[in-house]
Structure formats: C-alpha cells, structure tokens
Amino acid sequence: MLFSSISFLYYFLPTVLGLYYIVPKQFKNFVLLFFSMLFYFYGEPVYSLLMIVSIVSGYLHGLWIDKVRSGKYAMIPMISSVIVSIGLLAYFKYFDFFIDNINSIFSASISPLKLALPIGISFYTFQILSYTIDVYRGETKVQKNILNFATYVALFPQLIAGPIVRYTTVAEELSTRTHSFENFSYGITRFMIGISKKVLLANTLGEISAIFHNANEKTLLFYWILALAFTLQIYFDFSGYSDMAIGLGRMFGFHFLENFHYPYIAKSISEFWRRWHMSLGTWFRDYVYIPMGGNRVPKLKWIRNIIVVWFLTGFWHGAQWNFILWGLYFAVFLMLEKYMLNRILDRLPFIVRHIYVLFFIVLSFVIFNANGIGEVMNNLKGMFGFLQIPLYNLETLYYLKSFSFVFIIAGIGATPLMVVLYRKLMSNKHSRYIMDVGQPIVIIILLLLITGYLVDGSFNPFLYFRF
C-alpha cells in the first residue's frame, strides 16, 4: 500500500487514526502494531513472515546481548545478530546478483532463485542492527517488551520508505509520548507537503522518463532533460516520503529526525551528503566508518575506509553494478575534495561552486537511474554528443515547453526560498493572521488536487521497490 493512494488516504489512515485515539493509552502500541502488520501484509503477504522472523531475532538478540554484556563472550550475540540480519538481507536482495556474476565470470550455469525483493527489508534490517549494536555498546537499554520492540521495527510510517529511525531516537516515546493538537496539526501539514511533493512534482517529472523511452527520435537535449528531470524527481520522491513519514509519526506522537535538508544548495559534494538521505549517511558513519577508524587513521587506511563505506552505500541501494559504481563515484569525489578540490573551491564564487555540485550530482543520478552499466554508458554518450543523434528536434522542444512550468516549480521547491518566505510572513502579526486562516484552505486544495490526480489513475511509480 502506498501513502500516495486512495486506499491509504481515505480508508487505512482514517481507520487507524480513529482507533488509535479511541483506545486507552496501554493499547495504543497494539493498535499501531496491528495496523502496521496489516499495512505490510497488504503489499507483501508472503514476506510478512520474514518481517516477524526479523523482529523476533532482533528482540531475542537484544536480550542475549544484555544478559552477557559484561562477560567474556559478550561480542558473540552481537556478531550473531549482525550475521542473521545481514544474512537475511543478502539472501533475499543479493543472492541472484552473486549467482549472475558467478555465472558470467566462470561460465557456470547456476540457476537463480528469482526471489521477489521484500519491500522495506533494507530499512528495517538497518533499524534492527542499530538497536542490537547500541545495546551492545551500552548506548541504550534493552527493550524487554516485545510489543514495543515490534512496534518500533514495523511502524508503518517509516517501514517501507524510511527514514532509518534509530531505536535511541524513539526509545522513550515507545512507552511514553505526548499527543497534542499542535503535534497533530503539524503532522497533517507535514504529511500534505510530502504527498504534494510526491504526487504533484515527482510523479509529473517521472512521466518524462516514459516519454523519453517512447520517443521516435532521441536528441542530445532530451538526454539532458531526462537527467535533470530524474535528479529532481528522486529528490521530491525521497524527501516527499520522508516528509510523509515524519508527519505521520508526529500524528502518533513520535518525533523522527529530518532526512533531507535542501541538498541541491550544497557548495561541495561533501556538503551534499550531509544534506541528502541523512539517516543513511549517519548510519554508515556510526556503524561502519567510525568503527573502522574514520579519518583518525593514516591516509591509506582512510582511503580504504571511504571506499568500503561508499561501496556499501551504493550496494545498499540495489543489487546492480551501476549502484556500486554510483557509490564509488562519490568516494572518488570525497577523496578529491579532501586532498585537492576544497582548496580550489574555497577560492571560487558561490555560484561556481554551486554549478560544480549540480553538474556532478546530475551525472551521478544518470548512473543511479540506469539499468546496468551498459545503459549508463549509453546515456552519458547521448548527453555529451557521442551518439549519432541531433542536438534537438521539434518533439524535444515541445516536451521542454510542456514541462517547463513543472521544472520551474520543482527548482524553486528544491531550495529553502519558500520556507524563508513563510517564516518572514509568520514573523509579522498581520500576515501571520492571513497565513493561519489560509493554511487549512491550501491544505484542502492540495488534498483535492492530489485526490483528482490519483483517481485519474495517473503515473504513480514507487522508487523504493528498487531498495
């Protein structure tokens, strides 16, 4: 079930909210867990059992780690937790990838399993690992209530699309959380911002990809339009889902951390990754990069650490070589910036640094969006004039004109300009009154627009199926 669907907006969400606020406090987690499992079962009935196995494994490993933490073999249950969690992830997400590569390299004929990728497995696996590792480190207390632990893992607002919520972030709120009109109102507003980004912007930009593949004649300009469209699409899709998750969490009393902070205004690739998918970046930092020594090691070991982290970051996104290439692409830039480029960039005007970041980020998402290395090379050749295609044609100009308004709105929306304007208006008592009256009206209008879009059966892809 997608957040951006009629069934979720008008059936599932009102039902769970109604029951959640009716039942006494001691039953609220039960309501959340029941509907979270129902939410997952709706989309993945077979793999619901896999999630239950993962929950039980994480819960039992937490108890085991807590029991022997001060003993001689305290590391054994933590290692066991990592092996079980990563083993399940590797089996269902990467097994066929390894088989295909073994067959290709050794001319073998091993039959792939052709397993469907369980939705959200990359997210809830990392959440369970963050819990067991933090219990081992003594950074959080063990959760002895399996209902609370299961609610943490299966919580539907962030189950299939993130952000990756650390147990330490919501540990107290699992047992004690505050509900208020202000929190609920904020949650609705944040959810509506997120679903508007997803449905009205990301989905519309996503239509360009389908148009491109059906075009009678490709042009160099169209390759660039496609690259720019996907760069904006993936931002509004990912950040839109994070906004929806944060908003839904607030409706139920949870405070999830921010996951995106206007990454396209970054002045370096390093800064971009401090703003993009922050929950994933900090997860790899805290559980892989720093345990390997971080940057407090000799240069060669630091380079090794960067390569390992970014190889894993790319591989986490999908079992294809282009994702690995995408991760290593950023590893190269981070190393170059640290040892050479930053000294140059610091002397350059803001606009030049900004263009540098945007240019190489667009190229990165060309790698990300491809279906294999061959398509990566073909798309890059198309963008830089190495294919025998025209610069532009009438069809390309037609679509550029048709989507120009969406590009402009998306470009503005990817910056903090609207937030700055909103805060300025709210700082004045007269305009604040107008904003307070107008905000519910805007939300209703957005809901009607989104509903019309969804009822019409328009383009509504789900990028997270790849993860």
Q: What is the model's pLDDT at position 30?
A: 96
A 10 A CB-CB count for 303 gives 15
Q: What is the model's pLDDT at position 457?
A: 66
Coil, strand or helix: which one is 101?
helix
Ranges of the chain whose pLDDT falls below 50: none
Structure tokens at 112: 């792939």
Q: What is the model's pLDDT at position 253?
A: 95
- CA triplet 412, 413, 419: central angle to 5 degrees? 100
CA distance 266 to 271: 6
CA dihedral of 380, 381, 383, 387, whole degrees rounded to 10: -160
DSSP state of 387: S
Q: What is the model's pLDDT at position 462?
A: 56
pTM passes above 0.75:
yes
Residue ranges in 197-320 assigned as alpha helix (H)? 203-214, 220-251, 269-275, 278-284, 299-317
Q: Which amino acid is at 326?
A: W
Across 379-417, b (16+ Cβ under 10 Å) vs e yields bbebbeeeeebeeebeebeebbeebeebbeebeebbeee
Active site residues: 317
Rg of the chain on CA atoms, in Å: 23
The answer to whether 58 and 149 have CB atoms below 8 angstroms apart is yes
Nearest Cα to Cα of residue 97 among 379, 367, 323:
323
Q: What is the model's pLDDT at position 411?
A: 95
Strands (E), 181-317: none
- CA triplet 233, 364, 418: central angle to 5 degrees? 40
Place of tokens 């893992």: 153
Q: What is the model's pLDDT at position 404?
A: 94
Q: What is the model's pLDDT at position 461?
A: 62
Count of CA atoms in the C-beta half-sphere (13 A) of 118:
25
Structure tokens at 72: 């001689």
Give 423's contacts (C-beta < 8 A, 6+ positions apart). none
DSSP state of 464: G
- Residue 215's alpha-carbon distances to 161, 229, 234, 325, in angstroms, are 31, 16, 22, 28
Coil, strand or helix: which one is 309?
helix
Give 317's contacts (C-beta < 8 A, 6+ positions apart). 323, 326, 327, 368, 466, 467
